[in-house]
Amino acid sequence: MSKSLEYELAEMIIDFCNVEDVAPEDVSPETALIGPDSPFGLDSLDAVEVVVAVQKTYGVRIGGEKTSREALQSLRTLAEFIEQEKEEGHLDA
């Protein structure tokens, strides 16, 4: 994976959620972010941590109707969500 937004997000999640023994380059952008298949080992309690980390780092709020579940499916969906929100100017003050 190049230094893409997905890569940055993987780094951010590893940092914020204290994930051990996982390197950003080992994680496929398509794999599940949360749940038993998560390479980060994240569960529902970590979802809030990721939501807050995204808001602090990128100024993008996750939390409207259905956006949280959709955005947190994988690194790819999260990156797409952030890019779309930025494009539409939905940045948190």
Partner 1 sequence: MKIDFPHRQFAHCESGVTANLLNYHGFPCSEALVFGIGGGLFFGHVPFFKINFLPLTTFRVGPGGIFSKATKRLGIEVVKEKFRDPVAAEKKLDHLLQSGRPVGAQTGVFWLPFFPPAYRFHFNGHNLVVIGKEGDDYLISDPIFEETVRCPSEDLRKARFAKGALAPKGKIYYIEKMPEHFDLPSAVIAGIREVCRGMLKTPVPLAGVRGIRLLARRMTRWPDKLGEKKTLLYLGHVIRMQEEIGTGGGGFRFLYAAFLQEAAGILENDRLLELSEHCTQIGDLWRDFALLASRVCKKRVTIEDSFEELAQLLNRCADEEEILFNALATEIK
52 binds partner 1 (CB under 8 A): yes
88 binds partner 1 (CB under 8 A): no
Question: Minimum distance between the CB of residue 36 and partner 1, rounded to whole angstroms?
Answer: 4
Q: Which of 9, 33, 60, 62 is close enough to bind partner 1 by CB under 8 A? A: 62
Give the angle 63-84-65 at the CA atoms, nearest 5°: 25
Question: Minimum distance between the CB of residue 64 and partner 1, rounded to whole angstroms?
Answer: 6
Q: Which of 36, 87, 88, 89 is close enough to bind partner 1 by CB under 8 A? A: 36
The closest alpha carbon to 86, from 65, 62, 52, belongs to 62
What's the farthest any 2 CA atoms get from each other in the chain? Answer: 36
Q: Which range binds partner 1 by CB under 8 A, 6-14, 23-31, 45-53, 83-91? A: 45-53
Instruction: Output DSSP code: residue 25.
Output: G
Token output for 8: 């940055």
Burial of 37: CB neighbours in 10 Å, binned 0-12, 13-18, 19+: exposed
**What does the binding site for partner 1 look like in residue numbers (CB under 8 A)?**
18, 34-36, 44-49, 51-52, 61-70
